[in-house]
Amino acid sequence: MERKVTRGIGHIIKFAFLAVIVLFTVYPVLYTIIGSFKTNMELQTGGSFWPQEWMFSNYVQAFRQAEFLKYTWNSVILSGITMLLSLVTSSMAGYVIARHDFTGKRALMVAYLSVMFVALGPIVLYPQYTLMHQLGLTGNLLGLALVLTGGQASNIFLIMGFVKSVPKELDESAFMDGAGYFKIYTTVILPLIRPILGVVALFAFRLAWNDYITALVFSIPNPDMKPLTVAVVGLRYSANAAAELQIMTAGASIALIPILIVYFFTNRQFISGLTAGAVKG
């Protein structure tokens, strides 16, 4: 009887904890969506959670002011390039580190592990911008995508766990048939680690889509290359410098739609990839 009571209390604590986590995660998104239908005065003064009058015109105004089609296309291109670069570089790095021994491998692993637990974004932003400026890549989306591709240590370790689960006998068999390292990587390794590649692709796409600070700095030389996140924040102030929070929240709500659509069509691959990675890694 005491064991059942203890187990019941444990379940209650567990579900209460999960409920609190869900509340803190969902509430800001829900508040933004509900707030996008309020007037500017309601948002700034607080008041009731629900709007007194549903202002659907906020969305029309936000769509026009932010040039959503133009900047959404910029975000799609940026996220697509970042995703492809991340898949290629992280899969190659994960394969080489998991399968081959070379001088400095341990030091490289330590370096990767160290950057996983330190937020380097603001620290490395200036040298990144300087480097891209010297390469002539500060005014286009390719330079920004290259910057966002870096710092993907977690993706590399995810792929390493999958590669280690692939029997080495397959590599040796392909090598005996005359395949080189790159051939083994493309024909043996990549087809067998597709679940985790889907996870890495979603992570990279989400990172590029949601990035703000890096995109803001790199789009200064060429405002036409601004992604959607930068354009949405620009909706906060109107032409007369007055704060228009209702327009910004409406724009933020619209900006949520594409990434939600991507997750809706890839959530099964995402969950299966993480689950398999947890078992294999």
pTM of the prediction?
0.79
Three-class HEC string of 124-137: HHHHHHHHHHHCCC
Residue 237 pLDDT grade (very low, low, confident, very high; cuts 50, 70, 90): low
3-state SS, residue 250: helix
Weakest-pLDDT range from 8-12, 115-119, 220-224, 274-278: 274-278
Mean pLDDT of 185-204: 86
User: Helices (DSSP H) in 136-244: which residue ranges?
Assistant: 141-149, 153-165, 168-176, 181-184, 190-192, 194-210, 213-218, 228-233
- Residue 208 clears pLDDT 70, i.e. is over it: yes
pLDDT at 77: 92
Q: What is the pLDDT of residues 90-99, one digit of tens each?
A: 999 888 888 8
Domains along the chain? 58-280 (1.10.3720.10)
- Residue 85 clears pLDDT 90, i.e. is over it: yes
